[in-house]
Structure 1
Amino acid sequence: MRIRATVAAVSGALAISAFALPAAHAAGSAPSYRTEAAKLFAAHGDRTAFSSTNGTAATDLGVSFSNLKIAKAIKVGPTGHVSTTVTYTLTHGANYDLTSDDFDSGPVIYKASSITNADLLGGVNPATCTATSSTTANCSGKIDINPADDLINSDAGKWSAGALALQYSTGNRSLQGNLGTTLVQRNSQLTVDASPEPVQKGKTITVTGKLSRANWEDGHYHGYAGQPVKLQFRKKGSSTYTTLKTITTSSTGTLKTTTKATVDGYFRYVFAGTATTPAVNATGDFVDVR
């Protein structure tokens, strides 16, 4: 599940063009993190001009965020749910009670250049914050991603990270970006098959395989064309692979090359990865040389 909003300029203001709501963070009459986060994401880009829950101008809470840590990369397959943990320090006024149902915080990521005009991804639930002083807390929350709902293929690449804080009773809130970066990547798969098996020493071995990556728009893996992939060999009894050559995937992501049989060992393909697609190694295929 996710928190997501696409914000766009409309007649001098900003409005949601797409939004899907995750489950509320508490039962009964407790404030809904998803609802208040939605209002924040839809708010005017000028943080001093937010509209509050009662229709009056909302103000920034004066909450700030620092020391944000997020994974270097988030690998997202074609289907399913992926989450990653984000930690950060929250600094607030001494009058805020972080244990109150009236106050919540959570991490967000966004691909736009500015968080005030961005498509935001967040967590199903607010972060858990532990006070370290009367005005600071260490927080840990999740970014939840469902590719079918949250992503299109062009979203792959670098995203920025930030955090938000909400006070439900007033509708006031804080939103801060540029606290870190991560790569949201289309997960990759790589296969290898060396044949014939067994093979006579000195004979030719044909090594085939395929490099694929997730397509978030149709929910399947498809071949990744035009990518350099290394063919490597590890002698039986050794723990070290040696690169034999580099070849390029076909228009359908397939790989095919030949090499000479010398000794027993394992062949594998290795892809170094790109900003949009993670590195991956095929599981070595053993060839018995006689």
Structure 2
Amino acid sequence: MRKLPAATTVLATLALFLGPAAAAEADVASPPRIIGGTIHAADLTLGPGDSRTFFVTFDAEDDSGISRNDAEAALIGPGGHDLRADRRPPGTDLCTPHSGNPNRSTCRFTFTVRADGWTLSNADAGLYWFNALVAANDWVPREDGGLVTAAPLDSVRIKRKAQLTADAFPEPPRPGHPLGVVGRLTLADWDGGGYTGAPEGLPVQLVHKADSGSRYEYVADLVTGRGGILAASTAPRPDGIWWLAHHGTDATPWIYSAADHVDMP
């Protein structure tokens, strides 16, 4: 994780993970207020070594105005994994007052996430919550009041890119015998590069569509075995295509295998 500058480390230590109630109670008369926040990114799917940059914003207000640089943002994910915002460019402010209301400001932070085994390891894929902290202009460090946190403001899923294969056999099928389908679900290996077998227990469905119709039939519900291996046996269907489908989790994306066409004898 990225090391925070000393000033923001103090802020984060004091309040970011105390929860909104603890900070808000400090200034009963007129605490600052975080109005709402947004992660400006759809769910992210990263392959081996990929990186993505996006930004988050939140609005805050106080009767003394919002401090331009006493603010913090974090994305908290699986196991408490903590993604910190990028350092801001020199000479820029984190929070900018609104032109029509100087007591209200918009605070903006940029995040860069990398599937490099350090910023993001395999265990870090999943749902991330946006937490924020901000100080008012009248905030005095080591004194009560003028500092507030809010969590969660928004969320985003950061997922490991996936690959899925399917192969029906035998081809052509033997009359009166079941049709077999085997496949494998693999996920981007953020720790070591390349792709590695998915963990056991992920849901996958076996799907068939006959050439003579437009209806897709979900034939069987499967789960990945060791190394992401999948296997199914089913009664033969009319001529058509077979494939496997994984509809995703917080840590994995939707993915369909390539279709395998099977003609009945």
Normalised by the shorter chain, which TM-score bucket? 0.5 to 0.7
CA contact (8 A) 2:66 2:105 kept: no
- What is the alpha-carbon distance in structure 2 between the residues aligned to residue 194 and residue 85 of structure 1? 44
- 2:74 matched residue in structure 1: 108
Aligned-residue RMSD, C-alpha: 4.1
Once the two structures are TM-superposed, the CA of residue 157 in structure 1 deviates from its matched residue by: 3.2
Partner residue in 1 for 2:111:
143
> Structure 1, unaligned stretches of length 5 or more?
6-18, 20-36, 49-59
The superposition leaves residues 78-98 of structure 1 with CA deviations (integer Å, 9 ceiling, x where unpaired) of 31102344343333556569x
Partner Cα distance (1:145, 1:183) in 2: 12
The superposition leaves residues 80-133 of structure 1 with CA deviations (integer Å, 9 ceiling, x where unpaired) of: 102344343333556569xxxx6596743124899xxx7332246587968373
**How far apart in 2 are the matches of 1:194 and 1:103?**
60
- 2:85 and 2:215 map into 1 onto residues whose CA distance is 41
Is the contact made by 2:66 and 2:95 (CA closer than 8 Å) also made in structure 1? no
Matched, 1:74 2:44: yes
Deviation at 1:222, TM superposition (A): 1.0
> Is the 8 Å Cα contact of residues 190 and 210 (structure 1) preserved in structure 2?
yes
2:9 alignment counterpart: 42
**Is the Cα–Cα contact under 8 Å of residues 162 and 175 in structure 1 kept in the other structure?**
no
Residue 161 of structure 1, CA deviation? 0.8
1:176 matched to 2:149? The reply is: yes
Shift of 1:43: 2.0
Q: Give the match's secondary structure for 2:5.
A: helix
Aligned to 2:262: 287
Deviations 1:46-99 (A, max 9, x none): 259xxxxxxxxxxx9x764332233674333331102344343333556569xx
Q: Following TM superposition, by how much is the alpha carbon of 1:280 offset from its aligned partner in structure 2, in angstroms?
A: 2.8
Q: CA deviation at 1:244?
A: 0.9
Choose the corresponding residue for 2:192, options 218, 225, 238: 218
Q: Is the 8 A contact 2:34 2:148 kept in 1?
A: no
Q: Given the superposition, is the C-alpha separation of residues 215 and 93 from structure 1 closer, same or farther in structure 2, using an over 3 Å criterion?
A: farther
Q: Figure out how many residues of one structure are paired with residues of the other and give that number.
A: 236
Structure 2 stretches lacking a partner, 5+ long: 17-26
1:162 aligned partner: 131
Q: TM-score, normalised by structure 1?
A: 0.62
Map of 2:226 onto structure 1: 251
Q: Which residue of 2 aligns with 1:54?
A: none
User: Whole-Å Cα distance in 2 between the matches of residues 128 and 263 of structure 1?
Assistant: 63
Describe the shift of the 1:77–1:92 C-alpha distance in structure 2 as closer, same or farther (beyond 3 A): farther
For 1:1-290, list aligned pairs within 5 A. Answer: 4-5=1-2, 19=3, 38-43=5-10, 45-47=13-15, 64-70=33-39, 73-91=43-61, 103=69, 107-111=73-77, 119-123=82-86, 131=98, 133-134=100-101, 135-137=103-105, 141-148=109-116, 149-164=118-133, 176-178=149-151, 179-196=153-170, 204-227=178-201, 228-236=203-211, 238-289=213-264
Q: Equivalent residue of 1:42, what SS?
A: helix
Distance 1:235 1:257 in 2: 18
Sequence identity, in percent? 23
1:147-206 CA-to-partner distances (Å, cap 9, x unmatched) read 213022332334321235589xx9989673412333333333222223455657766533
Contact 2:78-2:124 within 8 A present in 1 as well: no
